[in-house]
Amino acid sequence: MDMDAKTCLKKMELVGVLNVATVDENGNPQIRCISAVHYDEDSFYFFTARGKNVAKELLSDGRVQILVYTKFKEMIRLSAKAYPVPEERQKECIDTLFAEQPYLANLYPDDKRYIGICFEIKDASIEYFNLGVNPIFRECYVIGNGNAEFKGYCITDKCIGCGKCLPVCPQSCIDKGKPKPYNIRQNNCLHCGACFEKCPVGAIKRL
């Protein structure tokens, strides 16, 4: 399957609305839908009002997770830190967004738009997860200087080759291999943990 970080960003743009999760001052998760987004080739920025809690949370903490789900059963999850666009670019970015998305002028007419603030994301890790294919497909990508976050399970050298993990895997993504008796195809793994629970010698570990 031909996927990469830029394709994920394009899919996010086509979906239109981002589910954006932040962390408040008490460490609690907060989530909103944000549609005022401008995409460049390998980065993007979004708009909110300076007085909103989401702006306060991004200014004080910056951590963000963004989730979109396409009509093709694709999930894209982006993890990053969002930073305010430099002050000298704020007006340009706000004007660009308002030109691209005319509905914003109904919310903030004329110069009232400048109560807003734009945040940008340049460095991020992206998880792509496609439930609409068989077997399922997943992969990790980065934009900028983001760090890839690998999750799931792997079979270690403790494997005795008993094969008890094979029949419990819902995606049949465990193959015979070398030098270990079995290997998990990471791109097709659901991360369900069935093999982890079934292994009699604890040879499967969580990544």
pLDDT (tens digit per residue) in 182-201: 999 999 999 999 999 999 99
The count of domains in the chain is: 2
What residue type is assigned to position 85 of the chain? V
Token pair for 72: 């093709």
Residues pairing with 125 in the sheet: 79, 142
pLDDT (tens digit per residue) in 55-86: 999 999 999 999 999 999 999 999 999 999 99
Q: What pLDDT is recorded for position 55?
A: 97
Which residue type sits at 162? C
The answer to whether position 99 is within a domain reads yes
Domain that holds residue 184: 153-206
Residues 139 and 167 in one domain: no
Examine the pLDDT at 2 and tell me if it is beyond 90.
no
Domain-located, residue 176: yes
pLDDT > 90? residue 10: yes
Q: CA 63 to CA 81: how far, in whole Å?
A: 5
Asked if 11 and 70 touch (Cβ cutoff 8 Å), the reply is yes
Decide: 18 and 76 in contact? Cβ < 8 Å: no
Residue 191: give its domain's CATH number.
Answer: 3.30.70.20
Do 73 and 109 belong together in one domain? Answer: yes
Residue 184, pLDDT score: 96
Cα 15–chain centre separation: 14
What integer pLDDT is reported at residue 41 of this predicted model? Answer: 87
Residue type for position 60:
S
Whether the pLDDT of residue 1 is over 70: the answer is: no
**pLDDT band per the 50, 70, 90 thresholds, residue 207:** very high
Query: Do 79 and 149 contact (CB within 8 A), yes or no?
Result: yes
Do 113 and 185 lie in one domain? The reply is: no
Span 105-160, pLDDT tens digits? 999 999 999 999 999 999 999 999 999 999 999 999 999 999 888 899 999 999 99
pLDDT band at 98 (very low <50, low <70, confident <90, very high): very high
95, 159: one domain: no
In terms of Cβ atoms closer than 10 Å to its own Cβ (0-12, 13-18, 19+), residue 13 is middle
Model pLDDT, residue 169: 97
Write down the pLDDT at residue 142: 95
Predicted TM-score (pTM) of this structure: 0.91
In a domain, 148, yes or no: no
For residue 133, tell me if it sits in a domain. yes
